[in-house]
Amino acid sequence: MIPVNMMFVRLSSSYFFYFALLGLISPYLSIFLDEQGFTSRQVGEILAIMTATKIVAPSLWATLADKTAKPLFIIRLGALLALVSFSLLYWFTLYWPITFSLALFTLFWTAILPQLEVHTLNSIKQSSKIYARVRLWGSLGFIVLAVVAGEAMSALGYQVFTSLGVITLLCLFFSTLLLTSRESAKSSRKNASEPTPIFNKLIEGRFICFFVAGLLLQISFAPYYGFFALFLRDLHYSGLAVGLFISLGVVAEVIAFIYMGALFKHFSLNTLLVFSLGITALRWFLMPLVADSGIWLAIIQLGHAASFAIYHSASMKFISSHFTKTQQGRGQGIYLGGVYGVGGAVGAYITGVLWLNGQGASNTFIMAGASALLGTIIMAFIKKQSSHSFS
């Protein structure tokens, strides 16, 4: 039996490096592609193609994990193949080769998180408090690489982007080798031979509304995830300032994760979801109006605590309670594939079309705000109509 402290360290390190990579890709991939000479529409297309792999890939990987009962093998395989695919950026410079390598990278990278979430929740016996504390290490990883990458790309050039990604993926792969399962092989074989149908869970009204609201939220995040660093660069913020502003949002996220246990005690899941969506809509509507002010931009970034940390924790708790133990992998895969895949791809493509190399930034953020607002209305409506089904 592995000591609890050791298990916590191993889980936290995998989250740290997984989201550290996100701290590189989410803010700076658009700058990397922009420096390669691609237009904003081409950048949007590349981001959309990358994100589209998340539509099918998580469910395929999750189904494989459920059938083989080897989620740790899936996590490690995904990390290794993601490393190989990302490394191709050292040699590719043209549109389609870069698109291919990034799409392939995303295909394998998406294998990691759903199974890591399930493995973590099973390892900590569904404890919301422990999960939040493990997950906050992912946020810390994001902060570290967002700040380091912003300064490094300013000082050394955009080419350092690839090296930072490869180093982080190497660390992620080695961290997954340290993960161990709490379940016995006999128990795993039993779970693998007795899959539970999931369709009825997917067509329940509350899950459909939860799914659609999450999809709209991801559409709204597309300008932030794909073009925010470019947006700040065009406002003449330095590379270090860009990294710090992005990190400020994640610092707020970390604080929220720490106190999620208390929030779950005092508020229902639906209340937390509605609040998160509403704050997100407000963020995007305000962004083009006040982003040239460092103070106001900092205030807006604090809203990331609600936009991501509270929403993510509440959504994971919802999925954990909505699906049975033998459905968890597939449930995570369907949610992440549909919400992050479809929502992210649609949002990235729309953003690329509307951005117009920075000239359409205001309209793009208005689109994002409207999408999050619609998600807020859907969740608020469900609360009134079927509040008894949420807790």
248-253 mean pLDDT: 87
pLDDT of residue 328: 67
Residues ≥6 apart with Cβ < 8 Å to 163: none
pLDDT of residue 368: 96
**Burial environment of residue 295 by CB neighbours within 10 A (0 to 12, 13 to 18, 19 or more):** exposed
Q: Is the pLDDT at 241 greater than 60, yes or no?
A: yes
Q: Which residue has the higher pLDDT, 374 or 154?
A: 374
| Mean pLDDT for all residues in the chain | 84
pLDDT of residue 129: 66
Q: Which residue has the higher pLDDT, 358 or 99?
A: 99
Architecture in CATH of 199-382: Up-down Bundle (1.20)
pTM of the model: 0.77
**Are the C-beta atoms of 98 and 32 separated by less than 8 Å?**
no
pLDDT, tens only, 37-58 = 898 899 999 989 988 887 777 6
- How far apart (Å, rounded) are the C-alpha atoms in residues 303 and 391? 24
If you write DSSP's letter for every residue of 217-286 in order, what string do you get? HHHHHHHHHHHHHHHHHHTT--HHHHHHHHHHHHHHHHHHHHTHHHHHHHS-HHHHHHHHHHHHHHHHHH
Residues ≥6 apart with Cβ < 8 Å to 319: 328, 331, 332, 335
Residues ≥6 apart with Cβ < 8 Å to 297: 245, 290, 291
Q: Is the pLDDT at 388 greater than 70, yes or no?
A: no
Q: CA 223, 227, 228: angle at the middle one, nearest 5?
A: 85
Query: Where in the sequence of the chain do the CATH 1.20.1250.20 domains occur?
Result: 1-181, 199-382
pLDDT of residue 350: 94
pLDDT of residue 326: 67
- How far apart (Å, rounded) are the C-alpha atoms in residues 115 and 346? 25
Percent of the chain with pLDDT over 90: 35
Task: Please report which residue ranges of 291-360 form alpha helices under DSSP H.
Answer: 294-302, 304, 311-322, 328-335, 344-355
Q: Which residue has the higher pLDDT, 249 or 131?
A: 249
pLDDT of residue 383: 59
Would you call 94 helix, strand, or coil by DSSP? coil
pLDDT of residue 195: 59
143-162 mean pLDDT: 87
- How far apart (Å, rounded) are the C-alpha atoms in residues 58 and 168? 21
Q: Is the pLDDT at 387 greater than 70, yes or no?
A: no
276-300 mean pLDDT: 95
Q: Is the pLDDT at 341 greater than 70, yes or no?
A: yes
pLDDT grade for 286, boundaries at 50, 70 and 90: very high
pLDDT of residue 182: 60
pLDDT of residue 389: 45
Q: Is the pLDDT at 386 greater than 60, yes or no?
A: no
Q: Is the pLDDT at 14 greater than 80, yes or no?
A: yes
**Are the C-beta atoms of 19 and 139 separated by less than 8 Å?**
yes
Compute the Cα dihedral for 115, 118, 122, 124 and give only its sign: positive
Would you call 194 helix, strand, or coil by DSSP? coil
Q: Is the pLDDT at 381 greater than 70, yes or no?
A: yes
Q: Which of 231, 233, 249, 248 is nearest to 363 (CA)?
A: 231
Percent of the chain with pLDDT over 70: 88
**Are the C-beta atoms of 364 and 351 separated by less than 8 Å?**
yes
Q: Is the pLDDT at 7 greater than 80, yes or no?
A: no
pLDDT of residue 239: 82
Least confident of 133-137, 151-155, 320-324: 320-324
Residues ≥6 apart with Cβ < 8 Å to 198: 323, 327, 330, 331, 334
Express the helix, strand and coil content of the chain in percent, nearest 5 each. Answer: 85, 0, 15
As a CATH number, domain 1-181 is 1.20.1250.20
